[in-house]
Chains A and B, each alone.
Chain A
């Protein structure tokens, strides 16, 4: 689905409320949103629950919004980003003494390592039909923000400005972080 088609579908759905137009948007964005959430929570069932929650929010709010193809992408990913943050916040309720940011970092970097990381990554790679098992662990070793940027920039091919608006960062910061992440992956691959 190109930008023109996406724009048309958004307009038609807002105008008529016909589910055909929503389904077009849904099928186009579902893998992107699912992927974005999955690599944060690293659990298939949780990723599915959160993804359907994101699309419910999109469905209920799209008609009251004033969106085009560009702003819709940023809006949809922002909802996904906030939903994931809410999830981590809910999970973090029992650990009040640890800050939220600390917890996310901890979750991404240490917790999985403690739970037999290699085994987990192998399982996920198989489950996700990834050709290279090493790639999964590479991505997981990246700091939280860099992981999101890699996914949004090199997998979903969003521009730096849109990524900045999703993650509340400026364009140049996103550019720098994405290059650092790429450099890290390159070095790890060539080790």
Chain B
């Protein structure tokens, strides 16, 4: 073997020995475990002596005086740094109380509370237009229950009247749009209408006129609903709100008959030969063209336009506004031979031309 190769091998072996020492092994253990090192023992000894010598540098240390003064200097400097940092940036330094771990759960609690509040409010807001059978309808009812429990007794009357109007509006929507829902849900709705009406009376919120109007409307809704349910049962469930339901008190339908029972706003247009009956809570706007007969019983406002040959009767509580071009007969706040409203229910008048 050449001298250079021999030196390289020796270097490799010693390097290996030192790496074993680096791993925490004892020198004697390495000699015992790996006999190859034994032949290089004297050379390895020189390296170990050099290592021991180098470790003498550990005695190089700063003076105690410097150790103390340097620490004081650091604290003085850090105070200045923090003050100037705060003055420059107007931001609380890292040691600020706001950064302390105590505030973390408080912030977490507040953010969770806000999230839940806003999400619930959003759901309640979205459920405002729901009707029985909708997913959000139960949310609407639960929100109303919470509202009831939070309202003082002096305001309970107005609150229940508002809820009563909502229930009636729901019933009207179901009837007008021919929505198919189960009998159980309809009965629940009618029961809740009765319940809200009863609560309004319990709080003595309604005067005589209001009671009468509401009675009329509730009875109208009930009658209409029951009729449709009966008809559906007879015809094999073909939809609740089908038109042609006006044949009630012995009247007859010549061409077509349309009945509308509404809670808040109803707008109806009937053309050609028709009979129309409208029972509304607040506003009813009706346009009848051609030969027609119309009876309207409303709570607050009735606005009608009748063209052609027609007979129209309106019985309303507050105001009636009508425009009748052509041949027409019109009655306001009156009961004539063609229409009657005795306060116990509503009258379906059917007359063909």
Contacts and interface: CB of A to CB of B under 8 A. Distances in A.
B is bound to A: yes
Contacts of A47: 62
A19 interface: yes
Contacts of B57: 35, 39, 130, 135, 139, 151, 155
B50 A186 contact: yes
A19 B72 CA distance: 11
Contact of A64 (B15, B54, B94): B94
A185 B74 contact: no
Nearest to A38: B60
Contacts, number: 97
B34 interface: no
B59 A130 contact: yes
A151 B78 CA distance: 30
Given A154-B51, A190-B46, A52 B73 contact: yes
Given A35-B57, A154-B51, A186-B46, A30 B62 contact: yes
Contact of A56 (B67, B74, B95): B74
A59 B78 contact: yes
A55 B70 contact: yes
B47 A34 contact: no
B49 interface: yes
Contacts of A123: none
Contacts of A4: none
A1 interface: no
Contacts of B71: 23, 26, 55
A60 B78 contact: yes
Given A60-B81, A128-B59, A135-B56, A30 B67 contact: yes
A150 B18 CA distance: 14
Given A23-B71, A56-B78, A60-B81, A185 B53 contact: yes
A40 B18 CA distance: 26
Interface string A45-85: 00110011001100110011000000000000000000000
Nearest to A55: B74
A60 B84 CA distance: 13
Interface string B219-233: 000000000000000
B50 A34 contact: no
Contacts of A128: 59-60
A150 B74 contact: no
Contacts of B19: 175
Nearest to A186: B50
Contact of A34 (B53, B59, B62, B77): B62
A132 interface: yes
B78 A48 contact: no
Contact of B47 (A39, A51, A182): A182
Contact of B15 (A39, A154, A179): A179
Interface string A20-41: 0001001100110011001100
A115 B19 CA distance: 38
A132 B56 contact: yes
Interface string B36-71: 000000000011011101111111111000110011
Given A31-B62, A52-B74, A130-B59, 16 more contacts: A15-B101, A19-B75, A23-B71, A34-B61, A34-B62, A35-B60, A55-B71, A56-B74, A135-B54, A155-B55, A155-B57, A159-B22, A179-B18, A182-B54, A185-B50, A186-B46
24 contacts: A19-B75, A26-B74, A27-B67, A30-B62, A30-B67, A31-B60, A34-B60, A48-B66, A59-B78, A128-B59, A130-B57, A130-B59, A131-B59, A132-B56, A150-B54, A151-B57, A154-B51, A155-B57, A179-B15, A186-B47, A186-B49, A186-B50, A189-B53, A190-B46
Sort A-B residue pairs by CB-CB distance and give the 5 closest, nearest first. Answer: A186-B50, A52-B70, A34-B62, A154-B54, A31-B61
